Structure 1
Amino acid sequence: MSVNTPCIILITGIMASGKSTVAQLLAERMDRSVHLRGDLFRRMVVSDRKEVNPDADEEVLAQLRLRYRLAAQAADTYCQAGFTVVVQDVVIGPMLQEFVSFAASRPFYTVVLTPSIETVASREAGRAKKGYGAWTVADLDRVLQQETPRIGMWLDSSELTPEQTVDIILERLQSEALVEV
């Protein structure tokens, strides 16, 4: 596959797994691309924003689905305009399959970054923004490992630089990351 063919590539994983950095570097490797940060749609909610916590009720999950639908629709719009769209967001658990179904454009690729709990904790400690509060790294990793459908490419990036991670994604995208729906 040419990485310049319009498509959607979802980069997901738990918080501090390297999604933002990898998605940006991946998008920069393509001639016509967009780095779409799904969390932007969460931050747009000014009043009554629901934060996802371990005991999320249906109202919280409905707002999360809305965020994912909006991200998928924006990705579709860019893709239909001829862009390769690298979507980056925390999409784990059963909702990963839902996210894929929200996007109409194909091909659709999924890359799940799975660095070790220790690596994520170290990255979280070293960054200015803090993502963990109600969730622990271990709790979120448990959802990723035990509740997330095994679709797309799963990549342990614990020992990889962001550039090496992108190199591997590009090498294996066609053979491992394509999601058939």
Structure 2
Amino acid sequence: MIKLLKYFKDDIIECGTDEAGRGCIAGPVTAAAVILPKTFKNDVLRDSKKLTHTNRTALRKILEKEALSYGITHIFMETIDEINILNSSILAMHKSIEKLSPQPEHIIVDGNRFKPFKNIPYECIIKGDDKYLSIAAASILAKTYRDEYMEKIHEEFPMYNWKKNKGYPTKEHREAIRKYGITKYHRKSFRLLPEQLEMKF
């Protein structure tokens, strides 16, 4: 197992940021930003997609207790439809970083797209959630908080089975849209039905 790196720059306050739910057709896109203490160690922590639900839940508790600071932000469907999913993902990351105290002096971002935040230097890192601890931590918090939200709204519209698919465009989810139509939680700017999904989004 590859050991994740602590920092991109270790002599300043650095945060990692990541989002969850970008490819979903329902629910918010959720981002987190995390500053870990210099002493933080964890051998299980990595990209949230590579961990079990049990591991993610346990890690969330550890991170909430041990992180120097963390911020989490949901950007909801109306905004996603208005400014698009990429801009919404970056906005969620910006708002999460804004919640950090102290503010970071350097930002590391999962992926290859970001916009400057308050003139703080940043680095985009492809698959950063499986290379750096703080980005992995952000991926855990973003995913667990978003999953929790989707499980909550599942109670309102159980026919879409969001507690299982979390708003991703599974066959079952798309068939439910065909049968019941869309809800206030669906992203209207996305291709929602099978015949609309011939092109990847």
User: Structure 1 length as normaliser, TM-score?
Assistant: 0.33
Tell me which protein shows more helix as a share of its residues. Answer: 1
